[in-house]
Amino acid sequence: MVISTAIADAGQALHCTFASRYVRTSLPRFKMPENSIPKDAAYQIINDELMLDGNPRLNLASFVTTWMEPECDKLILSTINKNYVDMDEYPVTTELQNRCVNIIAHLFNAPVKEEEAAVGVGTVGSSEAIMLAGLAFKRQWQNKRKAEGKPYDKPNIVTGANVQVCWEKFARYFEVELKEVKLREGYYVMDPKKAVEMVDENTICVAAILGSTLNGEFEDVKLLNDLLTEKNKETGWGTSIHVDAASGGFIAPFLYPDLEWDFRLPLVKSINVSGHKYGMVYPGIGWVIWRTKEDLPDELIFHINYLGADQPTFTLNFSKGASQIIAQYYQFIRLGFEGYRNIMGNCAENAKVLRGGLEKTGRFEIISKEVGVPLVAFAFKDSKHNVFEISENLRRFGWIVPAYTMAPDAQHIAVLRVVVREDFSRTLAERLLNDILRVLRELDELPPKTVQVKEATVQAADNSADGVVFKKSVRETQEEITRYWRRFVQGKKMNGVC
């Protein structure tokens, strides 16, 4: 939910372009109008305002799917009035959700026997999925502590500082201490060794990220599992792992099948994944899968009967549309393993082309890794200009390319990030490269747009009147620019773009 804020100087009336054709009076901006207007007019007024939005296909900030086949669009439109929670009224929709859960569980190598059903649920997105997984870990830990007669009022969770903002939400909303492993320059994901060092008897789980929002890198879940296994043997705590595979869950099985990150690792008890990212469904749909039914406490599941039959439910929200679940099943049967593998491979190739073109300029340092989510994150090498200027100027060509700073303790590094989705073709990648080069040429002709800072002056050793002026290094200047920019977003977590 976005907190609504009225703009004082925006005016109280809404004027439409075609007022002379449809309506003669202005509409109130923040109050419901007294009278009805023609449906054509309502459509036109809203459509005119929406033209000022960015083009979703050129929004390279977002991991979220912006294109689906027309046949799936038809399915979504025909089922948009179905409520997912009415399982008795829409049993086929419920069946399709269960099929999706089992498909994903098998994709993630869950230990599900042939005659068994996998344990999982569809959610609005990975944020809700993470909330549910976190609640399961918290309740499991509390129940164990109660049985041992130990305090259970100070749970904590260990993550990297690069986690998406939904982990902060979980910690704050459900009163769990968030213990973050800080980053460092050149290493922008959670260090498994430091994470395990931070684990104590109150740790409900360690959260690993398969596809960091900041640079797309996969964290080493296998090493984390091995180190945590040794610590559990020493302490008897039995701390487990949750894998936040929001971005990478539909990439790793197809591009890196031998990579061990999923339920093949014994300590991985739950995994979330976003269907509306590389699951290739419009927002919002996510999934959370548990290793076994024992990993999801029964007391978290509610049973209702006022919709026609006994219906188990474990969600934060009750009602929601069923169309995205149906769309997810469409993609699974339409594409199959081969289709997903081809699409992810093509995305990786296009990201490689973009990466190579940026490296040829000699102006950028590539922050992202070749193994990971198909995206390119890159930083400026020099200090004459900064990435925020590039981001701002690229909007002139329609591109939405985010510029942001890394998480603590690497916040002095500012980067640009291009997410390569299915609809980002080779032609668009080459076009983007040309526009970046054009922006660079234009910026090079301008004076440096840096922050005016007072040079540090100290009194000379002989107490003379002349001061000694120290010239800032390239890194110090870049840090100053970054600090200046961060003043405008103070208190906001910058890796929440998804």
User: What CATH number does the domain containing 215 carry?
Assistant: 3.40.640.10
What percentage of the chain has pLDDT greater than the value 90?
70
CB crowding 1-33: b at 16 or more within 10 Å, else e: eeeeeeeeeeeeeeebeeeeebbeeebeeeeee
104 in any annotated domain? yes
- CATH, residue 381: 3.90.1150.160
Task: Indicate if 353 and 323 belong to the same structural domain.
Answer: no
Q: 368 pLDDT exceeds 80?
A: yes
The pLDDT-based confidence of 314 (bands split at 50, 70, 90) is confident
For residue 89, the model assigns a pLDDT of: 83
Q: What is the per-residue pLDDT across 169-199, written as a single tens digit (0 to 9) for each?
A: 999 999 999 999 999 999 999 999 999 999 9
For residue 179, the model assigns a pLDDT of: 98
Q: 380 pLDDT exceeds 50?
A: yes
Burial status of residue 182 (CB atoms within 10 A of its CB: 0-12, 13-18, 19 or more): middle
For residue 476, the model assigns a pLDDT of: 56
The pLDDT-based confidence of 464 (bands split at 50, 70, 90) is very low
Task: Indicate if 83 and 49 belong to the same structural domain.
Answer: no
Task: Indicate if 254 and 378 belong to the same structural domain.
Answer: no
Mean pLDDT estimate for the chain: 87
Of 243-252, 347-356, 431-440, 462-471, the least confident = 462-471
Task: Indicate if 169 and 311 belong to the same structural domain.
Answer: yes
Task: Indicate if 418 and 310 belong to the same structural domain.
Answer: no
Task: Indicate if 350 and 302 belong to the same structural domain.
Answer: no
Task: Indicate if 168 and 306 belong to the same structural domain.
Answer: yes
Domain final residue pick, 315, 332, 349? 332
pLDDT average, residue stretch 123-135: 96
470 in any annotated domain? no
For residue 88, the model assigns a pLDDT of: 75
Model confidence, pTM:
0.87
- CATH, residue 26: 4.10.280.50
Range of 84-93, 206-215, 447-456 with top mean pLDDT = 206-215
Distance, CA of 204 to CA of 189 (rounded, Å): 20
Q: What is the per-residue pLDDT across 23-35, written as a single tens digit (0 to 9) for each?
A: 667 788 899 989 8
Task: Indicate if 309 and 350 belong to the same structural domain.
Answer: no
- Our count of domains for the chain comes to 3
Task: Indicate if 94 and 230 belong to the same structural domain.
Answer: yes
Length of the chain: 498
Task: Indicate if 162 and 308 belong to the same structural domain.
Answer: yes
Sign of torsion, CA 198 203 209 212? negative
Locate 482 and state its tokens.
Answer: 């970054």
Task: Indicate if 224 and 176 belong to the same structural domain.
Answer: yes
For residue 21, the model assigns a pLDDT of: 65
Task: Indicate if 327 and 351 belong to the same structural domain.
Answer: no
67 in any annotated domain? no
Judge whether 65 and 276 are in contact, CB under 8 Å: yes
Distance, CA of 423 to CA of 457 (rounded, Å): 53
Tell me which residue range forms the domain holding 417. 341-450+488-496
